[in-house]
Amino acid sequence: MEVPAIYAIAAGGIFLALFLIQTRHVLFHWTESISVLLSGYLTLPDLVRRHRILGPWSRAGVLLHVSYIAVNIALVFFRTESLVDSGRRASELALINIVFPLSAAHLSFLAGLLGISWRSCCKIHRATGWMAVALLSFHIIAELLGQTLNFPLRETRNLLTVIGASVLGILAFFSIPYFRRWSYEIFLRSHQIFAGVFVYGTLQHLPSHSGSARLYVYVTLSILGLTTLLELVIILYRNGIFSGRGAPRAFISFSSRNIRRESFCNTTAANIQIILPRPVQVEPGQYINLWMPAVSLWSWTQTHPFTVTSWSKGKQDTLKLLVQPRKGFSANLVRRGALPTDSLISFLALFTGPHGITEDVDSYETTLIIATEFGIVTSIPYLKKIIYGYNTCTSHTRRLHLVWQVDSIGVCIYYDPFLDPS
């Protein structure tokens, strides 16, 4: 390239950069306007309302899912000469689609890496997983109809392939919301085990000369290995395992109320304070996954997400949680506390996170917070941040409205200690 041409490109690049810097404010204004427009017509209105099995689906969600399905169908039949070719194309597309579901061991960590919410990450995980199941089902049907399948089960390789395909079907069947709600802990661990069996069966099924198909699986496993290693390093660092300061410790007390002025006490919440060996920064709306192996017999296999109710401008060396007793882990936790519930117990605790995204509430003059019953707990960090910003004149907030819906006014008395701004 000639020297004058290099000089002209450099000068043009400088002028283009200055022009973009000058117009960035205009672009940002238009971006905000388009975002509000899309939210009003595509994101907020529900096309399918909430149901026990389906929904809620917004217009944008339906449009994205339909487009995603249409693209995969078009690629399956694009320039294929026979049904068998389309089936083999579908198998390769299925291997590409499973890259996302197998990218990390925990969706919370993957959502944090991508900068999206856990709910959005779950939707992508579910959509790509079901698409992989549909494509692999089409691949099997195409091979059977094409009468090209030579599959003696006496060979170990073929038997493992059948086991992998069967496990995928079982995995998809038990992903129905009914089974997830029945026992989420069992569903989660079996889901991860079945996914591992499916990947192993897929590797056994793929011939050694299928370079591209094996490459997709190896890329998936490499991403999984890297994210798992990164998550493990972050967990060890934030929990101070090798810092010489000891592991985190959870100190638990219980809030209770008298029922009908009798001596019987009903526990309304477990107050957990986690003393950290290394301070962490937690923003409002974020949560941690807590692991306390000594709570019950099977608690060592379980991690549970809890919203952090404490907030400070800097890093925190003590995290506060409020846990509502229900069933499973929280019920076992309450049973470990002796009555009357004014005692203090402690457990070894490890955590992952903080996970989740936070909403910017500093740029608005008026803030409206809506909560129901125990959901007020998730609003406490936002309330603390808004009050701090108002007192220090570091935010634009001037008016704060809190709408708290409860079944009875007496509930507010029981929850009042939880709203302590300390």
Q: Taking the domains of the chain in order of start, what are their residue ranges?
A: 61-238, 249-419
Distances (CA, A) of 185 to 1, 188, 302, 406: 63, 5, 7, 30
Which of the pair, 161 or 339, is modelled with greater confidence? 161
* Cα gap 316→306, rounded to integer Å: 16
* Cα gap 252→330, rounded to integer Å: 12
User: Residue 130 contacts by C-beta under 8 Å, 6 or more apart in sequence?
Assistant: 172
Q: What is the CA radius of gyration of the chain?
A: 27
- What pLDDT score does 350 carry? 87
> Contact 171/194 with Cβ under 8 angstroms?
yes
> Is the C-alpha dihedral spanning 193, 198, 199, 201 positive or negative?
positive
Looking at the chain, the whole-number percentage of residues with pLDDT higher than 90 is 1
> Contact 311/284 with Cβ under 8 angstroms?
yes
* Cα gap 42→105, rounded to integer Å: 32
Instruction: Work out the average pLDDT over 315-323.
Output: 86
> Contact 305/108 with Cβ under 8 angstroms?
yes
- What pLDDT score does 183 carry? 67
- What pLDDT score does 148 carry? 56
Residue 395, token pair as written in the block? 């935010």
Place of tokens 């846990």: 323
What band does 189 get if pLDDT is binned at 50, 70 and 90?
A: confident
Lowest-pLDDT choice from 255-259, 281-285, 302-306:
255-259
Place of tokens 């094409």: 146
Provide the mean pLDDT of the chain: 77
The answer, yes or no, to whether residue 290 has pLDDT greater than 50, is yes
Give the relative orientation of helices 211-238 and 107-114 as an angle to the nearest 10 degrees.
Answer: 90
Lowest-pLDDT choice from 127-131, 152-156, 207-211, 413-417:
413-417
Highest mean pLDDT among 51-60, 277-286, 398-407: 277-286
Distant-in-sequence contacts of 57-63, Cβ < 8 A, 24+ apart: 61/123
Amino acid at 50: R
- What pLDDT score does 226 carry? 92
The number of angstroms, rounded, from the C-alpha of 280 to the middle of its chain's C-alpha atoms is 20
> Contact 316/282 with Cβ under 8 angstroms?
yes
Instruction: Work out the average pLDDT over 184-204.
Output: 79
Place of tokens 């194309």: 89
pTM to 2 decimal places: 0.76
* Cα gap 143→162, rounded to integer Å: 14
Lowest-pLDDT choice from 9-18, 108-117, 119-128, 402-411:
402-411
Instruction: Work out the average pLDDT over 319-330.
Output: 78
Strand 46-48 and strand 57-58: pairing?
antiparallel
Looking at the chain, the whole-number percentage of residues with pLDDT higher than 70 is 75
Residue 225, token pair as written in the block? 């290995």
Find the helix or strand (DSSP H, E) in which 29 lies: helix 3-38
Residue 309, token pair as written in the block? 């109710």
* Cα gap 380→241, rounded to integer Å: 30
Q: What are the phi and psi torsion angles at 148 (to 5°)?
A: -110, 10
What band does 147 get if pLDDT is binned at 50, 70 and 90?
A: low
**Torsion on CA atoms 116, 118, 122, 124, rounded to nearest 10:** 0
Residue 422 DSSP class: -
The answer, yes or no, to whether residue 1 has pLDDT greater than 90, is no
User: Residue 372 contacts by C-beta under 8 Å, 6 or more apart in sequence?
Assistant: 404, 405, 406
End-to-end CA distance of the chain: 66
The answer, yes or no, to whether residue 338 has pLDDT greater than 70, is no
CATH architecture for the domain at 249-419: Beta Barrel (2.40)
* Cα gap 39→198, rounded to integer Å: 39
Instruction: Work out the average pLDDT over 217-237.
Output: 89
Strands lying side by side in the sheet with 350-355: 304-307, 287-291, 350-355
Strand 304-307 and strand 287-291: pairing?
antiparallel
* Cα gap 73→138, rounded to integer Å: 11
Strand 345-348 and strand 287-291: pairing?
unpaired
Residue 49, token pair as written in the block? 């309302």
- What pLDDT score does 165 carry? 77
